[in-house]
Structure 1
Amino acid sequence: MRAAFASAASPDQPLTALTVGEVPDPTPPEGWVSVEVRAASLNHHDLWSLRGVGLAADRLPMILGCDAAGVTPEGDEVVIYPVVPDDGDPRGMSLLSERFAGTLAERVAVPRDNLVPKPAGLSFLEAACLPTAWLTAFHMLTTRGRIESGSSVLVQGAGGGVATAAVVLAVAMGKRVYATSRDPGKREKIAALGAVAVEPGARLPERVDVVIESVGEPTFAHSMKCAAAGARIVVCGATGGHLPRVDLRRLFAMRLELLGSVMGTLPELVDLMAFLIDKDIRPIIDATYGFSAVADAFAHLAQGEIFGKVTLDFQH
């Protein structure tokens, strides 16, 4: 079968470590099932894997990809939840493509318990956007950020998958949403989604109850300054740097909560899909490529100019 995999680690030129070629079909162990992939989406996690971050040399080659939607041998249309129990990982879990083969292949083996029925109202491409970026945003807003008790949200660095999802979801939840971007074109797109788009570091008209932070060093001081008393600053990444300076005086004086967040649960994925159907909203897709153009899809993601998700259509 065809697959896209990391054949090496290349910290400085990750795309040179990407190989597209034939690999053996998966042989699912007991309790697992082979899913025919119809659509997948890319994440920055895939680029980090190509750099060798979180993917040791003894696990190469490794099929990339965390997210996919497809069809089981019984003909059921499903979305794959990518978090797999893993006693060999200190976290007690791992994502597909870290220790077990990922989703960027014509077929992928996953635990049967990780399969979620795909709602008829979502296309395969839309469903494939959800398990990592959109589920992470949903978990950050609801479970970690407890947004139901707040009225306002700041999303840093909108444009990428998680941040853009957080904007769409928070607007649909009826919250006042502010979102930053360095790019004037992206700020226009953010405003069209119903948020107040501002330049990074800009003063907001109010302090917010929840901050969605995935950028790190460049935006973290701004996140702290924009947080209301008792606010939750929820962090899921550090694409701009992982060692920000933290003003501890503001942290304790304003009684702020600084919360780490990774992914979400399988029941939350079910809730997320139901929420999308109920509110009649869909994931924002920046670009779709056929699987034969998967290298072009990775190049597009690596450029960093996307707004939404980059998806792969395995049916073309």
Structure 2
Amino acid sequence: MLAAVAARTDAQHPVGALELQQVPRPRVADLPAHWTVVDVHAAALNHHDLWALRGVGLGQDQLPMVLGCDAAGTTPDGREVVVHGVIGGEGHGVGPQERRSILSERYPGTLAEQVAVPTWNLVPKPAELTFVEAACLPTAWLTAYRMLFTSARLSPGDRVLVQGVGGGVASAAITLAAAAGLEVVATSRDATKRARALQMGAGHAVEPGQRLPFRVDAVIETVGAATWDHSMRSVRPGGVVVVAGATTGDAAPMGLQRLFFTEVTVMGATMGSRADLEALVRMCVTTGLRPVVDSTFDLADAPQAMARLASGEHVGKVVCTVPHRT
């Protein structure tokens, strides 16, 4: 079957390390008990894929590795499902002692015609969501949902700063927060992206580092060094900064004096639980909310899709689709 594979790693030119290859289909007879093979209809790309191509979290002994954390597709009995990409940790389908990982770290990922996962990881896909829309949810949208509502515990009327419009998590956070009745401030260096943020529901869109009209209850931080000081200056005393990425590197200095003096909480978040994903799917159905999709590519054009993601010019999710089989 066709798959987008990390054939090697390249810290400077990660897209060049991606290859389209024919790899063996997962065989039920070779899988652990309670695993299912899913026919992938759509798989969304994430910065996790770019980091893997750079060699972060993916050793040479693990290559080649099929990339991809997100997917929506069908099971052998015809059920339409969304794949929760976190394997282990909760002990379902892999044994109680296996440490948590994400698809494409220890097990082949979703950028392929088929993917094998523990059956417990499959969430029913409602008919209201297309395969492309559903494939956007399990990583970026799930992380944003967890950051806003599980980690920060925000409620309607609260104020939130979302750093770095354009990335999948940031775009999802703006859309989810606005739908939940939060007052959203978004940042971007790009005027076009700031305008898009307003279209997605942000009440304010400013340049990075610009003083906000008010202190926020929480900051959604995925940028890192370039925005960290602004995040710490923008959160109210007793507020929370939730971190799910550092695309510009680690923050240094961290601003410890402000941290302890204003009693700010700093929390980490990575994706979310299966229960979070089920709640997110229900939210999309009941509110009519849909993921922001930047562009779609055929799986055979995965290198171009990855280049689009790496360019930083996208707003929303970049998705690869697998042609329907007859």
| TM-score (structure 1 length as normaliser) | 0.97
Among candidates 183, 204, 217, match of residue 190 of structure 2: 183
Distance 2:322 2:54 in 1: 25
Gaps of at least 5 residues in structure 2 are none
What percent of counterpart residues are identical? 52
> Does 2:214 correspond to 1:214?
no
Distance 1:189 1:270 in 2: 28
SS in 2 for 1:39: strand
How far residue 194 of structure 1 moved from its aligned partner, in angstroms, is 2.1
> Does 2:134 correspond to 1:131?
no
Distance 1:304 1:149 in 2: 31
SS in 2 for 1:139: helix
**Counterpart of 1:291?**
299
> Does 2:72 correspond to 1:65?
no
Distance 1:285 1:75 in 2: 26
How far residue 149 of structure 1 moved from its aligned partner, in angstroms, is 7.7
Q: Deviation per CA, 1:264-303: give whole Å up to 9, x if none.
A: 0001000001111111110000000111211111111111
4+ long deviations beyond 4 Å:
none
**Counterpart of 2:4?**
4
C-alpha contact 2:166 2:312 (8 A) present in aligned 1: no
SS in 2 for 1:268: helix
How far residue 113 of structure 1 moved from its aligned partner, in angstroms, is 0.4
Which stretch has the larger CA shift, 191-200 or 245-254?
Answer: 245-254
5 Å matches for 1:1-316? Answer: 1-27=1-27, 28-85=31-88, 92-148=99-155, 151-195=158-202, 196-315=204-323
How far residue 168 of structure 1 moved from its aligned partner, in angstroms, is 0.3
C-alpha contact 2:218 2:241 (8 A) present in aligned 1: yes
How far residue 245 of structure 1 moved from its aligned partner, in angstroms, is 1.4
C-alpha contact 1:67 1:128 (8 A) present in aligned 2: yes
How far residue 243 of structure 1 moved from its aligned partner, in angstroms, is 3.1
**Residue type matched to 2:163 in 1?**
Q
What is the number of residues matched between the two proteins? 315
SS in 2 for 1:218: coil
SS in 1 for 2:308: helix
Distance 2:119 2:198 in 1: 40
Distance 1:247 1:46 in 2: 30
SS in 2 for 1:250: helix
C-alpha contact 1:66 1:103 (8 A) present in aligned 2: yes
| TM-score (structure 2 length as normaliser) | 0.94
Going from structure 1 to structure 2, the CA distance change for 1:31 and 1:128 (only over 3 Å counts) comes to: same
C-alpha contact 1:4 1:64 (8 A) present in aligned 2: yes
SS in 2 for 1:263: coil
Q: Deviation per CA, 1:32-82: give whole Å up to 9, x if none.
A: 111000001000110111111100111111000000000000100000000
SS in 1 for 2:240: strand
Q: Deviation per CA, 1:196-222: give whole Å up to 9, x if none.
A: 110101111110001000001110110
SS in 2 for 1:40: strand
Which stretch has the larger CA shift, 123-132 or 292-301?
Answer: 292-301
